[in-house]
Amino acid sequence: MLAPAASAAAPVDWENVDPAHHLAGRMASSGYLRGKVVCVDCRDYGDKSGVESMRSMEEIWQSFKMKPFVLIGSHRGEAGAEKIKRIAEGLKLTYPIYKDADIVRTQEQKDADPERTGYLYVIGSTGKAFYRGKDERRVQGVIASALMAMRSPQTPKQWKYYIDFDIDVLPGRAYLEIEEFRKTFPKEAEVYDDVWAKFNEDKDIKRVAKLERIARQAKDYDFKDANAKRLSVDKVEKAIELSADLKKSENPLVAQEAKNCIADLTWTAAMLKSAEEKSNAQGGEK
């Protein structure tokens, strides 16, 4: 069972998730984390006694990386960037690792909870804190539950919970959620009629919603399933090309959401190319 550490959902801001603090693995950004389930692994990444735990973290990352999820390694030790990079490369870690990455906290919160090293914590897509502890196996269940709740709301109350958050953070995703809510619970969805009308008049919001839809398809794609419907590199790259101008939208929410989706699709394109190269290589060997 989840044990939320906060009762009210609110957007969270992040500190030290920037190029100056990046040590190894995939790059991220504070804006990119908005609307995603985030797990932060706080440890001394220069301490070799944590090798097995780091491998476990990589397994968690590999399990969920194609979902709206980011695992952040938060290095809390004295070792410098070069050493951390060598260790990460030696262990083949690919998730983002930053120096002292954390949610932005008040001084009062820091005083109440000063020690972060050795802990994992999970923040839901709406900023809700779901877990803080040291149990790596439990963390996997928490992440899966947070992603499932986010992907498939079951009741009108749950739908409204996510829609109300996304309207002010990710309007393209909110557009898709309202669209689905209207089909599932038409009477309850009437409360969003004005928002729906407003969004339908905004070309940028409708375009970024379309981009969100493609990004969702990419994240639901099973690269290991030979029978999966083909998701081509050309389709993904075309979506990126046609949506690139949205990164400069006058609506800052649309601009950030477009950047997030394009980052995800760029990653997907690289994964697809890698899968194609492996398939071609195996075919050549035969």
Per-residue pLDDT of 43-83, as tens digits, reads 999 988 888 899 999 999 999 988 899 999 999 989 999 99
From the CB of residue 74, how many other CB atoms can be counted at a distance below 10 Å? 25
Picking from 150, 169, 197, the residue at the C-terminal end of a domain is: 150
Picking from 108, 123, 150, the residue at the C-terminal end of a domain is: 150
Are 146 and 253 in the same domain?
A: no
In a domain, 67, yes or no: yes
Are 165 and 276 in the same domain?
A: yes
**φ and ψ at 267, to 5 degrees?**
-65, -45
In a domain, 3, yes or no: no
List Cα–Cα distances, 99 to 51, 82, 102, 272, in angstroms.
18, 12, 9, 30
pTM here? Answer: 0.83
Are 51 and 110 in the same domain?
A: yes
Kindly report, residue by residue over 128-180, the tens digit of the pLDDT.
889 999 888 899 999 999 998 888 788 999 999 999 999 999 999 999 999 99
Are 244 and 216 in the same domain?
A: yes
With a cut of 60, say whether residue 7 has pLDDT above it: no
Are 95 and 223 in the same domain?
A: no
In this prediction, residue 12 carries a pLDDT of 85
pLDDT tier, 274 (very low <50, low <70, confident <90, very high otherwise): confident
Question: Which of these, 61, 68, 60, lies nearest to 26 by C-alpha position?
Answer: 61
With a cut of 80, say whether residue 267 has pLDDT above it: yes
Please report, for the domain that includes residue 99, its CATH number: 3.40.30.10
Are 212 and 244 in the same domain?
A: yes
Q: How far is 198 from 217, CA to CA, in rounded Å?
A: 26
Are 131 and 252 in the same domain?
A: no
Q: How far is 140 from 9, CA to CA, in rounded Å?
A: 21
Q: What average pLDDT does the segment 257-265 reach? A: 92
Picking from 122, 150, 178, the residue at the C-terminal end of a domain is: 150
Give me the domain span that covers residue 24: 14-150
**β partners of residue 37:** 69
Cβ–Cβ under 8 Å, residues 207 and 262: no
